[in-house]
Amino acid sequence: MCGAADGAFSPGRDRNLGGAEDRAAYLPIDPAHPRARTDFMLADAAPVAAITTAELADRFDGHGVVVVEADDPAIGAQPSTALPTPPPDEIAHIIYTSGTTGVPKGVAVTQRNVTQLFDSLAAGVELRVGQVWTQCHSYAFDFSVWEIWGALLHGGRLVVVPDSVTRSPEDFHALLVGEQVSVLTQTPSAVTALTPQGVDAALVIGAEACRPRWWTGGRRRVMVNVYGPTETTMWASKSAPLTPGSGAPPIGSPVSGRRCSCWTGGCAGVARVVGELYVAGAGWGAGIGGGRVDRIAVCGLPVRRIGGTHVSHWGSGVLACRRAAGVSRPADEQVKIRGYRIELGEIQAALSQLEGWSRRR
């Protein structure tokens, strides 16, 4: 992976912590991404160093970064002096998401935002010493932030799941049972491919619409539905523990330090009326990578007056309504594929660059 200040490029899921420990902001780049997308991200975020393997080192040719091979024996000879704690407003990572303007956008997230994420999520999933977590998502997907630090900041054990295992429901199920995983994070579409028998993990689901059919058999388990875009450091709201057979899961209520409101026709707060969901409070990203847009322009539009004070809100592009069993659905040209947010404008922009392509209504 590559950092905006320092960086790394990860071919697997076990090479990330060094960048975080040395106060480097990291920019995750998935080796499975097309070369053109990788080149764009490197040019946009302008990392100064990259941690990679020998077989992937040529991905950085022409980008002016210092390439460090993770398997170089010389790394083990370096001093292991403890490093100072990073300031809370220092950038922790930049994750690129699909952009409405036709190009990907990098969302910069601070150290403070990452730590407050765990302080804010009191939703029936206790974070404690001795838990076993899986990391089964790409570093380029912000689920990985929750998976890694949910375990390591709370004295848990993190099981790094190989890519080949995540692609096999049978192998993944065997790993969950064999490692006695106690906290599992998945998208709803991914979890439906798994068999629940023998899996006693608490389940955190999110990143796409939820239709829980998987978590209905066997022993009673905790299942929580969460909602939040990358711009708000993952979770902005969470449901209470879900009960099988209770209907479509709601996206729940705001986590601590957040405020959610539904706006329609210039008005907010009308119960049972569908409107666009706006999010305010702690957890906003510090801006877009590459230094092109500041925090206010990214996350603070429009400014709404609530309770006698002006509060900057982030428009989610999602329709929601205030009710006990509230559901959400896309309000703009946005789709989800395995939890990844895809703006159709970006797809159209990419297609328009192909020879012989024309847009038809």
CATH of the domain at 53: 3.40.50.980
Same domain, 306 and 329: yes
Whole-number Cα distances in Å, 42 to 5, 7, 230, 290, 312: 12, 10, 19, 10, 31
What is the per-residue DSSP string for 65-90?
-EEEETT-GGGGGS--PPPPPPPTTS
Same domain, 310 and 323: yes
Which pLDDT score, from 0 to 100, does residue 215 have? 52
Give whichever of 120-129, 151-160, 206-215 has the largest mean pLDDT: 151-160
Which pLDDT score, from 0 to 100, does residue 292 have? 40
Please write the tens of the pLDDT for every residue from 251-281.
777 887 777 777 776 555 555 667 777 787 7
Same domain, 156 and 240: yes
Q: Is the dihedral of CA 18, 20, 24, 25 positive or negative?
A: positive
Contact residues for 1 (Cβ-Cβ < 8 A; gap 6+): 7, 8, 9, 10, 15, 16, 19, 26, 27, 28, 29, 51, 139, 140
Q: Tell me the mean pLDDT in the region 320-325.
A: 63
Same domain, 73 and 30: yes
Residue found by looking up tokens 């569908």 in the block: 274
Alpha carbons 237 and 247: distance in angstroms, whole number: 18
Contact residues for 123 (Cβ-Cβ < 8 A; gap 6+): 224, 226, 238, 239, 240, 241, 252, 255
| Residue 361 covered by a domain | no
Is the confidence at residue 24, as pLDDT, over 60? Answer: yes
| Residue 45 covered by a domain | yes
Please write the tens of the pLDDT for every residue from 304-314.
444 444 456 66
| Residue 356 covered by a domain | no
Q: Which of 67, 84, 101 is the last residue of a domain?
A: 84
Closest CA to 99 of 278, 238, 292, 258: 292
* Domain encompassing residue 187: 86-348
Which pLDDT score, from 0 to 100, does residue 85 have? 83
Is the confidence at residue 340, as pLDDT, over 90? Answer: no
Which pLDDT score, from 0 to 100, does residue 80 have? 80
Total domain count, the chain: 2
For the chain, percent of residues with pLDDT exceeding 70: 65
Same domain, 197 and 57: no
Is the confidence at residue 56, as pLDDT, over 50? Answer: yes
Same domain, 41 and 156: no
Closest CA to 331 of 269, 280, 257, 277: 277
Q: Which one is predicted more confidently, 203 or 11?
A: 203
CATH code of the domain containing 162: 3.40.50.12780
Q: Tell me the mean pLDDT in the region 168-197.
A: 89
Same domain, 199 and 266: yes
| Residue 360 covered by a domain | no
In this prediction, residue 291 has a pLDDT band, given cuts at 50, 70 and 90, of: very low
Q: What amino acid is encoded at 193 in this protein?
A: A
Is the confidence at residue 338, as pLDDT, over 60? Answer: no
| Residue 355 covered by a domain | no
Q: Is the dihedral of CA 234, 238, 242, 245 positive or negative?
A: negative
φ, ψ of residue 19 to 5 degrees: the values are: -65, -40
Same domain, 116 and 99: yes
Please write the tens of the pLDDT for every residue from 136-150.
888 888 888 889 988
Q: What amino acid is encoded at 102 in this protein?
A: G
Alpha carbons 258 and 252: distance in angstroms, whole number: 12
